[in-house]
Amino acid sequence: MDTTNSIYLTPEQLETGLVNGTIDKLELEKLLTNNVHENENIDTLVHFFQHYIPGNRTMDEFIEKIRQYNSAQICGLVWNANVIAYRCKTCSISPCMSICAQCFQHGNHEGHNYNMFKSQAGGACDCGDSSVMHEFGFCRFHGENRPKTQMVPRELICCAELLIPHLLKVFIRALRMSTVSGDIVTEQKLLEILNLLSNGGSALQVYITNALTDRRLYEEFTTDSSMIRLYHYEYLTGECSTLPETFFVESLMTDSTSNSLIPFDTSLHTMLDEIMMWCVTANLPEDLVRFLLSLLPDFNFKLLFTETFLRFYGVIAQSLVDESLSETSDIPSRLVHISVQLFSSNIIAEYAMEKCHLIEVILSCIWHMFVPSTDQDKQDEDVDEDENILKVHPLARMY
Q: Which residues are registered as beta bridge partners of 133?
A: 92
pLDDT score for 1? 45
pLDDT score for 345? 93
pLDDT score for 397? 46
Q: What is the pTM of this model?
A: 0.89
- Residue by residue, pLDDT tens for the chain (399 residues) are 444 445 579 999 999 999 999 999 999 999 999 999 999 999 999 999 999 999 999 999 999 999 999 999 999 999 988 999 999 999 999 999 999 999 999 999 999 999 999 998 889 999 999 999 999 999 999 999 999 989 999 999 999 999 999 999 999 999 999 988 877 888 999 999 999 999 999 999 999 999 999 999 999 999 999 999 999 999 999 999 888 888 887 664 344 455 556 888 999 999 999 999 999 999 899 999 999 999 999 999 999 999 999 999 999 888 777 645 555 577 888 898 899 999 999 999 999 999 999 998 998 888 877 766 555 555 555 555 555 544 555 554 444
Q: What domains are defined for the chain?
A: 11-68+154-230 (no CATH), 78-137 (2.10.110.30), 243-377+391-398 (no CATH)
pLDDT score for 7? 54
pLDDT score for 213? 98
pLDDT score for 121? 81
